[in-house]
Structure 1
Amino acid sequence: MSDSWVTIKLTRDEALVLSHWLEKLQMTDLSQVVDDPAVWAPIHTIAGTLDKALPELFASDYDEQLEAARQRPAAED
């Protein structure tokens, strides 16, 4: 089987909230939270992709934007 890509679609709000959570996760000792080192690379890849896609992360009102994203209803499944 050849490698293939998986695409994940998130709303901007979901991406912002997930990015924040992943940043907090990466600041911990991952081995305490994630017991499988094979999972660490995908975590870092997702976090890096979100960092590149979300200019809000570097905005002066980031905290307000994050809180607003948390308050808005989540996307329907």
Structure 2
Amino acid sequence: MGDGHVTIKLTSDEALVLSRWLEKLQMTDLGRVVDDPAVWAPVHRIAGTLDKELPELFAPDYDQRLEAARRRLRPED
């Protein structure tokens, strides 16, 4: 962290699921959900980075890929 940056590593499944959740979050009234406006900038940065890094977001079978990723990430009963 000496360079002032933090690196977070996600699996492709984690990134895909998180990207969808962040998209839904950004479509809400952020002021109602996130009580500190200082948090908005990193939320937008993370979402934007995921959008650039995930070609799956534009795949015709995106919904199926997202659901498969969700299944793999859910804890087994």
Please give the TM-score of this superposition, normalised by the length of structure 2. 0.90
Paired with 2:31 and 2:59, the residues of 1 have a C-alpha distance of 31
Q: Which runs of 5+ in 2 are unaligned?
A: none
Moved >2 Å (runs of 4+): none
Q: Over residues 20-50 of structure 1, what are the superposed CA-to-partner deviations in whole Å (9 max), with x where a residue is unaligned? A: 0000000000001000000000000000000
Q: How does 1:14-53 map to 2 (within 5 A)?
A: 14-53=14-53
How many residue pairs get aligned? The number is 73
CA contact under 8 A between 2:14 and 2:73: conserved in structure 1? no
RMSD, aligned α-carbons: 1.4
Identity of aligned residues (%): 78
Q: How high is the TM-score relative to the length of structure 1? A: 0.90
> 5+ unaligned residues in a row in structure 1: which ranges?
none
